Amino acid sequence: MDKKLLQKYNDKTASPEEKRAVEAWYETVNGQEAKHTTEEIASLKNVIFAQVKSRIENKKEVPVVKHRFGVSVAFLSKVAVLLVVFSVGAFFYMNQNQSISIVKTKKLEIKPGGDNAVLTLANGSKIILNEAANGQIGYQSGASITKTKSGELVYSFAENANAQNTAINMISTPRGGQYHLILTDGTDVWLNSNSSIRFPATFTGNQRKVEITGEVYFEVFKNKAKPFIVNTSQSQITVLGTHFNVNSYDDEAFEKTTLLEGSIELKKGEAKAILTPGLQASLTKSSTAIALNEVEDLEAVIAWKNGYFQFDRADLQSVMRQISRWYNVKVSYEGTILNKEYSGKIPRKTTEEKLIEMLRFSGINCTIENNQINVKP
């Protein structure tokens, strides 16, 4: 990959064609060994540090620093210094004669999450889905519940089913869990960590209504005669058939609903908004106002579903909240939290050692002790 092209990409001066070329290159190195000679790496290192040193010496005050994470754990482990190529703005300065120190504890105790959820049936009984055998695991109100070989849970109408009463079921994921569910109407549901959905085993009447907490992505099966309604703690979302993501974690400042396809009617109290693809609605607990914003990168919104953390000018606390949920780990902060912004991707399968390396290369100084990530100045 041409160094000038990478620099244009990082400076956001690349043309659409050049941007696509760089991102295609990212994909080719994702999960693969880096094919660079020692001489190329040394040359890149010298150029990078010279540019960083020049920027810092010429700018005494840098109010906001932007960083980019790497795109591949394997790539980082082979050529860690190349991660700096992906950084933007004034990257943290380090003298060339100093080694990059990665602080490690005697024992790293955290692990990335995985498919892990609990199904609560209408009678209150619980099934730990990651421990359940594949095949049919239950029957509720005319619906057969099956766990597939790929690990997803599928609700389907049983043969000759005649449901008299609708059983309400719930699937919840813990911190460090995620799950994929298919409802009886064919709607696909993905739950992020520390999330839940309450839903009827079979949809009766003229509505399809569910309740959620945390973060959930929907691909709703289209049915004009029976709208699909999602209730959160702050809003009601009505769709006929569409793709959208809802982030309603209690510890986030905003509840955000992002539309990828179709249309949405969103209500909070008396306020109402119609979303078209590419729009994101933001709500706060203290106001009934609905703010609408355009989203430049919709794939970034659902990166979690596709196996990545993806940040776009996120602050430190936002980055660490996502990591905390997925790795089921507490985060503590020491000293003053600087006003910095971070952008880039981290695979959600990243091991704890590589995670700490990537964070530290991006300017986030942290260690793991006693099942806790400690962030320090």
CB atoms within 10 A of CB 165: 13
Among positive and negative, which fits the CA dihedral 22, 302, 313, 346?
negative
Question: Which H, E and C letters describe 255-275, residue by residue?
Answer: EEEEEEECCEEEEECCEEEEE
The pLDDT of residue 122 is above 50: yes
Highest average pLDDT, of 6-15, 100-109, 143-152, 360-369, comes from 143-152
Which tokens is 41 given?
């790496």
pLDDT band for position 70 (50/70/90)?
low
- What's the Cα-to-Cα distance from 172 to each of 121, 156, 193, 232, rounded to whole Å? 12, 20, 9, 15
Which tokens is 59 given?
């700018």
Give per-residue pLDDT as tens, 160-179. 555 566 899 999 999 999 99
Measured at the alpha carbon of residue 14, what is the angle toward residues 361 and 68, in degrees to the nearest 5?
15
Model pLDDT, residue 42: 53
Tell me what the mean pLDDT of segment 272-277 comes to. Answer: 95
pLDDT band for position 18 (50/70/90)?
confident
Give per-residue pLDDT as tens, 221-267. 999 899 999 999 999 999 988 999 999 999 999 999 999 999 999 99
The pLDDT of residue 306 is above 80: yes
Tell me what the mean pLDDT of segment 290-310 comes to. Answer: 94
User: Where are any strands of DSSP class E within 92-222?
Assistant: 114-115, 118-120, 126-128, 135-140, 143-147, 153-157, 168-172, 177-182, 188-191, 196-200, 208-219
Higher pLDDT, 79 or 199: 199
pTM assigned to the model? 0.74
pLDDT band for position 216 (50/70/90)?
very high
The pLDDT of residue 136 is above 90: yes
Tell me what the mean pLDDT of segment 198-217 comes to. Answer: 95
The pLDDT of residue 113 is above 70: yes
Collapsing DSSP to helix, strand or coil, 161 comes out as coil
C-alpha span between 178 and 304 (Å, rounded): 10
| Distance from the Cα of residue 56 to its chain's centroid | 32
Model pLDDT, residue 141: 87
Model pLDDT, residue 185: 94
Model pLDDT, residue 284: 93
C-alpha span between 295 and 38 (Å, rounded): 40
Instruction: Give the helix/strand (H/E) hosting 374.
Output: strand 372-376
Give per-residue pLDDT as tens, 319-364. 999 999 999 999 999 988 778 888 888 999 999 889 998 888 888 8
Tell me what the mean pLDDT of segment 71-76 comes to. Answer: 43
Model pLDDT, residue 241: 87
The pLDDT of residue 184 is above 60: yes
Collapsing DSSP to helix, strand or coil, 375 comes out as strand
The pLDDT of residue 90 is above 90: no
Tell me what the mean pLDDT of segment 139-143 comes to. Answer: 90
Model pLDDT, residue 93: 30
- Neighbouring-strand partners of residue 261: 243
Mean pLDDT of the chain: 80
